[in-house]
Amino acid sequence: MAVSIHHLRRLKERAQPIVALTAFEYATARLLDQSGVDLLLVGDSLAMVALGYPSTVPVSVEELLHHCRVVRRGVEHALLVADLPFGSYEQSPAQAFATASRFLKEAGAQAVKLEGGYRRMVETVAFLVESGVPVLAHIGLTPQAVHQLGGYRIQGKSEQEAARLSEQAFALEAAGAFAIVLEHIPAPLAADITRNLTIPTIGIGAGPGCDGQVLVTHDLLGLSEKPPAFAKPYVDLAALIREAATRYAEDVRDRRFPL
């Protein structure tokens, strides 16, 4: 059965963890979907791990739309969510809806994710939800704001910052977000927010107290050049690829391939 936003809520109610990963191309998306992942995110991390940009900021709507279409062809089970890239939704709720509607209509996404929990973003989330667009919110370390934040550092360490993030989470829930990504915040704070929300939280570098976890698949597979400290590689695929390519090159040069 295909996963819906309501299915994620039921998982929280049953205390069953939500499993989420990123996907950027057909073959990997198909394998991840077949593995039983609940949510696949065509994230703007694409910019860094697949397109070679120095941050998530430069990736465009057209680039993300292209990869979302590709992933859609490989997904039958998981809920497919697409990031809205920097500059495509912050100006106004109308701009956000124009961008989000393209991902739903042209690329087959079932929901969109956007960063930030300040008042204007809460208003945008409410507008999107009222307009029929499911929204996955994202607070804590928001990579699109990396220049404003002064780098990829943990958020919510002070009492004031923690209170601000909690307020944002409750406001986003009230605005209609179906779930919230909590990124790189202290584990006790993430657990506290999770306990007090009725919608699911999905953590990344936020400890085990969230309702689910998401990782960038390149980090999971050992393909990232600079994975974050909280990531756990489950296989060193980079080493396997280098080994296979080296053996192939040697076989070609020594005329062992083709047979």
CA dist 129 and 221 (Å) reads 34
Tokens 């949510």 correspond to what residue? 39
Which of 25, 62, 90, 183 is labelled catalytic? 183
| Angle, CA 18 vertex, CA 136 and CA 225 arms, to 5° | 80
CA dist 169 and 194 (Å) reads 9
Which residue positions form the known binding site?
44-45, 83, 113, 115
Closest CA to 144 of 105, 175, 183: 183
Which residue positions form the known binding site for 3-methyl-2-oxobutanoate?
44-45, 83, 113
183 is catalytic: yes
**Catalytic positions, please?**
183
